[in-house]
Amino acid sequence: MTDSPALVNLSISEAADALRRGDTTSVALTQSTLARIDQTEPTLQAYATVPASRALAAAEQADRELAAGRDRGPLHGIPIGVKNNCYTKGILTEVGSKVFAGHMPDYDATVVEKLYAAGAVIIGKTRCQEFSCGGSEPPTRTPWDLERFPGGSSIGSGVALAARSAFGAIGTDTGGSIRIPASINSLVGMKATYGRVSAYGVVPLAWSLDHVGPLTRRVRDNALMLGAIAGHDPGDANSARVDVPDFTAGIEGGVGGLRIGIERDYFLYPGVTDEVRAATEAVMRQLADLGAAIISLSMPELALAQEILTTIRMVESASYHRRLIREKGHLYNPGTRATLEIGQTILATQYVAALRARERFRAAVRALFQRENLAALVSPTIPVPAPLLRDVRRPRPDMANGETPTDGFVHHVYPANLSGQPAISAPAGFTSDGLPIGYQLMGRPFDEATLYRISYAYERTQDWHERQPPLLYD
């Protein structure tokens, strides 16, 4: 048997192989994960709920099934965390808010159903910011630096993976909330094409922008998770009727002959720090060395993404919370409530104009991909490394109009939410202070496989995914 401390450092693929060789058991994986949770939670606060006995019972069942020859696939017996805005039958789902305190759903979100069908062990519900748009209390901290912002709103999922207290995790992404914590925590996070993964049973932030997706420590693991949770769902009106491929089938195909675009005016604008810029340029050079063609191009419509998406998000969020604020407004964090109420002041004509602008934006992005024959657009995931927690909610004197250090986070990630196209964040290295840097690839609709192929090719040339946060050595 593999020793317990080493188990939590295994990738999903490695753990799955060890299970099938008989080198370990799902119970051992789950016990080791629960031990890591006990060790790190008092400091990190990655989990809202950890149903330990239920997880161990699921692990025992997984071991029995595997022993009997019933193999549900690569997630069978693997401990997975689920963001606390996904309904879980019989497990608290409080969405980081007193408004949903004690809420115990009587059904599972489709993504949770699919995890169970794949044999995964739900190890716990990971913390999220209040309704995916407010703060987090108690504050979740990243093991890379306890004083730094861990990302939002899938903060718990990102931190749990970085801390090795889950092998994979589910996040949601309306404006970067899978990719931002992936970048900050040196992880792989996939926001698949809109409709690729069902959002049924997930508390919405903005229904026409919300995506559900996987976070992992390695690219292949991410492809395995997406394969397990993707697929058409009649319960979700926005679910796409498209086949689910084996996302790992061509992952080792390399990048030879692929055209990868960079829009420097938008994605490498002056707000990008020198170290993030250098890391992104290094990724591009490496991909070029591997045979990709890096194409400089122009798309002025990108500058409109933030205003269009913000209008849509605020109106749709206000619509969902209108009754709740009326009935339970006193239970919201004041900052969250104020943000949601602003959406009620936006005119219907402005919302409709934003929807029409989104269609033009989508058409422009897809025309760019077709005209330039692009496999992907590359960029930093976020323009800066993780800022200090103490600075996140207060304006900085060197920033105009009362902006905070995280306001620029959405600059790079919003375009993929607005267009609905897939986008992945993967590790690009570290700053001189040891803070992770991520790069982003945005791809063609329903072509997540090519993004995995590119990011896997780069991953194989580096050891970023092998490095562990300093906290884990303490």
Residues in contact with 165: Cβ distance below 8 Å, sequence separation at least 6, in sequence order: 8, 33, 36, 37, 40, 41, 44, 46, 47, 81, 123
Sort 102 into a burial class: Cβ within 10 Å, 0-12 / 13-18 / 19+. exposed
Q: Compute the distance between CA of residue 79 and CA of residue 83 in angstroms, rounded to an integer.
A: 14
Position 393 scores a pLDDT of: 61
DSSP for residue 144: T
Position 135 scores a pLDDT of: 78
226-250: pLDDT as tens digits: 999 999 999 999 999 999 999 999 9
Length of the chain: 474
Residues of the chain with pLDDT under 50: 1-3, 395-402
Determine the residue type at 236. Answer: D
324-354 burial by CB neighbour count: b if 16+ within 10 A, else e? bbeebeeebbeebbebbbebeebeeeebeeb
Q: Compute the distance between CA of residue 185 and CA of residue 324 in angstroms, rounded to an integer.
A: 33
DSSP for residue 91: B
Tokens found for residue 169: 């995790």
Please count the other Cβ atoms lying within 10 Å of the Cβ belonging to residue 206.
Answer: 23
Residues in contact with 298: Cβ distance below 8 Å, sequence separation at least 6, in sequence order: 263, 265
Question: pTM of the full predicted structure?
Answer: 0.96
Nearest Cα neighbor of 14 from 220, 251, 255, 287 is 220
Q: Compute the distance between CA of residue 178 and CA of residue 180 in angstroms, rounded to an integer.
A: 6
Residues in contact with 319: Cβ distance below 8 Å, sequence separation at least 6, in sequence order: 343
Residues in contact with 82: Cβ distance below 8 Å, sequence separation at least 6, in sequence order: 88, 111, 112, 115, 122, 124, 125, 126, 169, 170
Query: Active-site positions?
Result: 83, 153, 177
- Residue 269: left (phi > 0), alpha (psi -120 to 50), or beta? beta
- Residue 109 to residues 53, 198, 400, Cα–Cα distance (Å): 21, 9, 42
Residues in contact with 20: Cβ distance below 8 Å, sequence separation at least 6, in sequence order: 66, 71
